[in-house]
Structure 1
Amino acid sequence: MDALSYFAMSWLDPSLLILTALGTFLGIYVGAIPGLSVTMAVSILISFTFSWDVNDALCLMVGIYMGGVYGGSRTAILLNIPGAPSAIATALDGYPLAQRGEAGEAIGLSTIMSVIGGFIGIIVLAVAAPNVSEFALSFQPRDYMMLAVLGIMLVGSLAGDSLAKGIFAGAMGMLIGTVGLDPLTAEERFTFGVTELWNGINPVAVMIGMFGISEALNQLHHLDKMAVKQKIDRIIPHWSNIKKYFGLSVQSSTLGVVIGALPGTGGDIAALMAYDHAKRITKNPEVPFGKGAKEGLVAPESANNAAVGGAYIPMLTLGIPGDAVTAVFIGALFIHGLNPGPLLLTEKPEMFWFTVGNLTLANIFVLIFGLTGIRLFAKIVECPKGILIPLIFLLSIVGAYSINNSVADIWWMLGFGVLGYFMKMYGYQLGPVILGVILSRLMDENWRRAIISEREDLGSFFLNLASSPLSAFLLTSIVLIFLSQTPVWARWIRPLWAGKEDKAQA
């Protein structure tokens, strides 16, 4: 059989087609429920599918993966509770759109852009997997550290009106992320002798509390306010809107593929970086970012779905997981007697093309299932506050408990919910806190590894930082982003640059 036959296998076999559809459908709703992660769902499936044929098992798990990454946007848009960390950036503008009565259009637009991002990720996987994986392997610990620092610089985009408050919130998030045992030496950090803190504070509990509980507490001030009537007369976005945002979607998807292909990163970092990219290149949005800008919805949704294809690249070509889900996939492949890595493309090319075809099929099902049920989902926002607020609390508690089946996570979630409520009251944005929590460990671990690899010689570290083209590029990007957030840039450089653009257009 040739590559095309293996690509189309899951399309032509009724049982594989049904399993992919079932997995995608379940994945969307698993992803929509905070705390029920795709990683957990795929892990559970391994115990059920180890006796299955490998193709059957992969179809179900691939469907859940694709559906789950998309599904997190549903509750992010409707309730301001990201179903997954990769949907954090989606909530920043998706929820304000729902508050304006445009939940149906927001979900429709996010679905289309998610599918576009998914297809771009799959195309890159099919066409350029070996080259992209080689690029990903060129990243040294210092480069991962610089990537994390670059991510931290997104605080400027998430800070709102006050950069100082954004920096404070980001620093708080990084401090929260350092709680627990040191990843290299296992020394206790900020545990205060409490053994329950050895594993740290779960980022998902922080996320659910900060976004979900704080919003529910905020809604208590508006119990007498009527729910916004949702306009759901048109679900599929206008063709003009798709064309308008297509370029941004392609750019964000490309960024998502690259970030997704870097082992240990994932769709959450890709989505936040894409959001920052959209904010920087969009000069005159119809609505300000953070208030319901559609660009702020398009970019993260394109990026986090494109990151799925990116995460498969190192998994299939190198045997290195791109994220937590593909790490579980590697285990599943080993159980079924397959060894993902460099030899897979030569010894088992049929599995590579089968996976590409199955990802494509699952992405089509995301489009089908994503555009159905929107009218019903949009009605959630129209629920009376007396029903909606308890629903948010219930989802948040269930989500927090399901992370580790631990009551402690519920208390953390509630505590951070109260903290988030007061932060919002005093004008602090919550996005930088979550950003700090997510990136703190990536930066911490790789800084330590980088300095150890240089035998703790700072001079050698900075010399290699400047001499490596990749490291130098990341360092230059960090410096430019930092300068772009200073008053000097706003007063002198930005007007000068704008003047040059006006002359060029003239």
Structure 2
Amino acid sequence: METLAAFFTVWADPKLFALVAVGTFAGIYIGAIPGLSVTMAVSILISFTFSWDVNPAIALMIGIFMGGVYGGSRTAILLNIPGAPSAIATALDGYPMAQRGEAGEAIGITTVMSFIGGFAGIIVLAVAAPVVSDFALSFQPRDYMLLAVLGLLLVGSLASGSLVKGIFAGALGLMLGTVGMDPLTFTERFTFEIPLLQSGISFIAVMIGLFGVSEALTQLHQIDKAAVRQSIDRIVPSWSTVRKHLPLSMQTSAIGVFIGALPGTGGDIAALLAYDHAKRVTRNPERAFGDGAIEGLVAPETANNAAVGGAFIPMMTLGIPGDAVTAIMIGALFIHGLNPGPMLMVEKPDMFWFIVGALVLANFCMLLFGLTGIRLFVKIVEMPRAVMVPLILLLSVVGAYAVNNSITDVYWMLGFGVFGYFLKLYGYPLGPIILGVILSRLLDDNWRRAIISERESLPAFFHGLVTSPLSLVLFLSVIFIFVSQTPLWKRWRRGRTGPARPPAEPGEPEDATLS
């Protein structure tokens, strides 16, 4: 009875209900603006909610967290500028749909699938949090390293054309991610004795430049072309569409919860892994991935929202943050006299169920607010390009500056925008560059932690690789995915199963016909 009372506290109290709703609404629009991250919003909230009671403070933060993760998909679909790193994969198929006049349908699908993914994550948090957290703790540094390598092999999914160009782009991203001071030895890497490079290159500046500014420059080639009229007759997807993609959404929700529960990962890695999974299991997509496939929206959006519930699992059961936002929430709980971890579950179980109840309410608010205002939002895509290009550039400058309040980040963003424009001009994919930047720190840090833990002995490292069941499974997965991306494997699979789709149209990459 006490559990139910704690769960429905946020529903029964009009003030708490309103705070969750307002937080979710604000989170959606904060997440939609490139550079204004959920982490930034929640960290600012701590100073405003310092004197509040714990329940209102946590309710508002949860609303912003849930809404912000979803909100990044809006500008990813409409402008090809991901509002957050977790929306990078969404832009790959969402923006082509908007270019066809299907922005309303794309936003409707992402909203419903985000709701399903968020609900799946909350259910796992409520039912199996201790089991999942114990499994997450079994990950050793070498396992995190293998997970990063597994993610790097996604270049085959993000590079719809030449795999060689995709590998080059991924390697470039890895190099960019390691610029600056080494976090373990404090030596300079790739700085060329330039003081400006010692602090590294802002990932957000790279992302906004490559996606936002390069898109604006590309639009200049079609400045006189009429804007695409958007069809908004069908916003809420039909039940048959939801039912068709429900198995995929459940699979990618599981990926999201699992990745979200691993400390130091997050929804961006979960979304990219889910996108790759969707490409591998979808046999006959109505459209090729990267050209407006609905599965390319279902997978990342269910995964990154499921990762929200996953991130709360280690926070509530072990006192270990699953991502940057839950790290800030741990600080907020400490400020209000609570100690997240195993003792919180014993001493204050009502707080656990209060958070679960707030997450459920925020998820429903996200569904409600996500399906409203779409008609106004899609007007952005219908604006003349002479207006849209300056708008994209303005959003890009604001987003890059807002990260660190630094004009240097704006310069980086503009530089990478021009660089990304020429990469697109010569057929190089931009997704693998961002992937490399995201995974560079995870790979670099855990490789050296793994070697140090084995006393810098490579034989001991490889011995642990094959004797640990978890490490062995991850290692075999890496080998399988690597082999499955080779031309020989693709030819064998094509000969075994027959063509999955009709032959490619002239000018369409041959690999795009394979799911």
TM-score, with length taken from structure 2? 0.96
Q: Deviations over 1:255-302 (max 9, x none)?
A: 000000000000000000000000010111111000100100010000
Distance in 2 (CA, whole Å) between partners of 1:110 and 1:104 is 10
Distance in 2 (CA, whole Å) between partners of 1:123 and 1:183 is 37
Specify the SS of the correspondent of 1:382. coil
Q: Deviations over 1:397-450 (max 9, x none)?
A: 000000000000001101111111011100111000000000011000000100
Could you tell me which residue of structure 1 aligns to residue 261 of structure 2?
Answer: 261
Distance in 2 (CA, whole Å) between partners of 1:20 and 1:195 is 44
Flag the 1:495–1:343 CA change in 2: closer, same or farther, 3 A.
farther
Could you tell me which residue of structure 2 aligns to residue 285 of structure 1?
Answer: 285
Distance in 1 (CA, whole Å) between partners of 2:159 and 2:21 is 40
Q: Which runs of 5+ in 2 are unaligned?
A: 500-515
Q: Are 2:460 and 1:460 aligned?
A: yes
Specify the SS of the correspondent of 1:233. coil
- Offset, 1:194: 2.5
Single out whichever of 137-146 and 479-488 deviates more from structure 2.
479-488
Q: Deviations over 1:148-199 (max 9, x none)?
A: 0000000110111110000000000000000011011111111122233222
One-letter code of the match for 1:118? G
What pairs up with 1:343-382 in 2 under 5 angstroms?
Answer: 343-382=343-382
One-letter code of the match for 2:45? L
Distance in 2 (CA, whole Å) between partners of 1:53 and 1:195 is 45
Specify the SS of the correspondent of 2:221. helix
Could you tell me which residue of structure 1 aligns to residue 240 of structure 2?
Answer: 240
- Offset, 1:493: 4.9
Single out whichever of 238-247 and 138-147 deviates more from structure 2.
238-247
Distance in 2 (CA, whole Å) between partners of 1:456 and 1:292 is 47
Distance in 1 (CA, whole Å) between partners of 2:244 and 2:166 is 31
Distance in 2 (CA, whole Å) between partners of 1:138 and 1:475 is 16
One-letter code of the match for 1:270? A
Distance in 2 (CA, whole Å) between partners of 1:497 and 1:314 is 42
Could you tell me which residue of structure 2 aligns to residue 204 of structure 1?
Answer: 204
- Offset, 1:490: 1.6
Q: Are 2:330 and 1:334 aligned?
A: no
Could you tell me which residue of structure 1 aligns to residue 184 of structure 2?
Answer: 184
Distance in 2 (CA, whole Å) between partners of 1:452 and 1:497 is 46
Could you tell me which residue of structure 2 aligns to residue 166 of structure 1?
Answer: 166
Q: Are 2:394 and 1:400 aligned?
A: no
Q: Deviations over 1:301-329 (max 9, x none)?
A: 00000000000000110111100111101
Could you tell me which residue of structure 1 aligns to residue 480 of structure 2?
Answer: 480
One-letter code of the match for 1:286? E
- Offset, 1:495: 3.4
Distance in 2 (CA, whole Å) between partners of 1:471 and 1:498 is 34
Single out whichever of 189-198 and 226-235 deviates more from structure 2.
189-198
Distance in 1 (CA, whole Å) between partners of 2:129 and 2:262 is 12
One-letter code of the match for 2:380? I
Distance in 1 (CA, whole Å) between partners of 2:383 and 2:498 is 46
Cα root mean square deviation, aligned = 1.0
Could you tell me which residue of structure 2 aligns to residue 72 of structure 1?
Answer: 72
Q: Which runs of 5+ in 1 are unaligned?
A: 500-506
- Offset, 1:45: 0.3
One-letter code of the match for 2:422? F
Distance in 1 (CA, whole Å) between partners of 2:129 and 2:198 is 38
Distance in 2 (CA, whole Å) between partners of 1:317 and 1:198 is 37
Q: Deviations over 1:29-75 (max 9, x none)?
A: 00000000000000000000010000000010000000000000000
What pairs up with 1:211-226 in 2 under 5 angstroms?
Answer: 211-226=211-226
Could you tell me which residue of structure 2 aligns to residue 109 of structure 1?
Answer: 109
Distance in 2 (CA, whole Å) between partners of 1:309 and 1:322 is 10
Could you tell me which residue of structure 1 aligns to residue 140 of structure 2?
Answer: 140
- Offset, 1:497: 6.4
TM-score, with length taken from structure 1? 0.98
Distance in 2 (CA, whole Å) between partners of 1:196 and 1:356 is 44
Distance in 2 (CA, whole Å) between partners of 1:112 and 1:449 is 40
Specify the SS of the correspondent of 2:234. coil
Distance in 1 (CA, whole Å) between partners of 2:95 and 2:492 is 35
Distance in 1 (CA, whole Å) between partners of 2:498 and 2:444 is 38
- Offset, 1:498: 6.8
Distance in 2 (CA, whole Å) between partners of 1:317 and 1:130 is 6
Q: Deviations over 1:208-239 (max 9, x none)?
A: 00000000000000011110000001211111
One-letter code of the match for 2:483? L
One-letter code of the match for 1:106? A
- Offset, 1:491: 2.4
Could you tell me which residue of structure 2 aligns to residue 35 of structure 1?
Answer: 35
Flag the 1:38–1:273 CA change in 2: closer, same or farther, 3 A.
same
Q: Deviations over 1:353-400 (max 9, x none)?
A: 000000000000000000000000011000001110000000000000
Distance in 2 (CA, whole Å) between partners of 1:40 and 1:47 is 12
Single out whichever of 487-496 and 187-196 deviates more from structure 2.
487-496
Single out whichever of 408-417 and 193-202 deviates more from structure 2.
193-202
Give the 4+ runs in structure 1 shifted more than 3 A: 493-499
Could you tell me which residue of structure 2 aligns to residue 300 of structure 1?
Answer: 300
Q: Deviations over 1:317-355 (max 9, x none)?
A: 011110011110111010001110111111110000000
Specify the SS of the correspondent of 2:465. helix
Distance in 2 (CA, whole Å) between partners of 1:488 and 1:472 is 25
- Offset, 1:487: 1.9
Specify the SS of the correspondent of 2:456. coil
Single out whichever of 187-196 and 246-255 deviates more from structure 2.
187-196
One-letter code of the match for 1:435? L
Distance in 2 (CA, whole Å) between partners of 1:132 and 1:307 is 13
Could you tell me which residue of structure 2 aligns to residue 318 of structure 1?
Answer: 318
Distance in 1 (CA, whole Å) between partners of 2:100 and 2:246 is 24
Distance in 2 (CA, whole Å) between partners of 1:197 and 1:126 is 44
What pairs up with 1:428-447 in 2 under 5 angstroms?
Answer: 428-447=428-447
Distance in 2 (CA, whole Å) between partners of 1:490 and 1:431 is 22
Specify the SS of the correspondent of 2:381. helix
